[in-house]
Amino acid sequence: MLDYKLEQKVKVLVTNELATTTLDVLNDKGYQKPLIVIDNFLLSTDAIKQLLITLEKNQKDYLIFDKVIPNPPIELVDSGASFFKEHNCDAILAIGGGSVIDAARGMNIVRLLGGSIADYAYDKEITEFCHGLIAIPTTSGTGSELSNALIVTDTIKNEKLAVLSNEIVSEVAILAPELLVSLPKQLTISTGLDAFSHAAEAYTSNLSTPVVDAICEKIMFLIYNYLPLATTDGQNKEARERMMVAAALGGWVLNNGGTHIGHSQAHIIGAKLNIPHGQACAYALPGTLKATASVKPKKIKEIGYILGATFPEGADEAEIGKITSQKYREFRDDVLGLTAFDTLNIKRKDVLALTADVQHERFAGNTPFELSSEIVEELLAEFGL
């Protein structure tokens, strides 16, 4: 069987007319009773009010599930699927950030295939395409609207679990820049840097291919050029649209190139020490870039060029890694102004204590260099610096 390296099943729309576009999608697919999985605070926004009015005027009998919390737990996903079935809904509109879209995707799996979302995190086979999920992101970072992975939290073990399948992607993704104009500055920064990490890690992953590489280069270019503008002028719809496109493409390349040790750090450290995912990815990337230069210097140098770096003639792998890593820190800290790690009051020993967990995290196997415990410890010593 051929192992194809680039696949995209999701239909994507970019629109400045959220309400009418969403109605058109529901009509096109024949859905009459969507469950709207949404961040509660969005219900008071003009765009969502107009969407609900439009659905009501067109006899769409929707229900609302607004109980999603960051790092959605298994129990919440399962209860949402039960709510869906109890009320005989026929589709899910997922409106929110990565947690909402991940939770909604999990609900969609369970309502169609049964069981608990935990079953699928522990490798129960997903046997058919999970139709009915329409994703409408309200951040520009996770790429969940095009991604084939979702993350749920086991609150008993205090760990994040991944469900991964090409059969669980959204049926349709609607990108509406109007939903982002009020996104807070730090959330704009951290989600944007999450998307940058998706591209940088997929670009250097063991799973990368020439086509994935080209997409990753464009994603990083878009973020470097438009995230500062979206940060300083959140009302700029061009910047918001460019970031939405970059983030969606970032979710796509996850399906085809994967992430590696940067995201392994973010998944483990973020869950254990309660750091928002985008921040954790941004704290992990400098060390990851530096270490990756030892085996992929050409690609790390290219990332450096995207970030505005210059390199001395004949620069070796160590110099390339150091220069690129520093340029990323300048972008993260000086240009954008991400919340500094040292303000979180997290002890370094608590980070280092997670070495073994990071080393064996699910996506660590995509890392292009050997992950000895000593190397992982070196990476964690740089986390947040």
Domains annotated on the chain, with CATH: 11-179 (3.40.50.1970), 185-382 (1.20.1090.10)
pLDDT at position 300 is: 98
Nearest to 196 by CA among 213, 212, 217, 174: 217
Per-residue pLDDT reduced to its tens digit, 87-130 = 999 999 999 998 999 999 999 999 999 999 999 988 788 989 99
Q: In the predicted model, is pLDDT for residue 302 greater than 90?
A: yes
Question: Residue 139 and residue 181: Cα distance in Å, rounded?
Answer: 10
pLDDT at position 121 is: 87
Q: How many CB atoms lie within 10 A of CB 2?
A: 4
Per-residue pLDDT reduced to its tens digit, 52-96 = 999 999 999 999 999 999 889 999 999 999 999 999 999 999 999
pLDDT at position 1 is: 56
> Tell me, what amino acid is at 161?
L
**Nearby residues of 3 by Cβ (< 8 Å), 6 or more positions away:** none
Percentage of residues in the chain having pLDDT higher than 90: 88
pTM: 0.92
Mean pLDDT of 142-168: 88
Sign of the torsion angle spanned by Cα atoms 355, 360, 364, 365 = positive
Is there a contact between 269 and 358 (Cβ–Cβ < 8 Å)?
A: yes
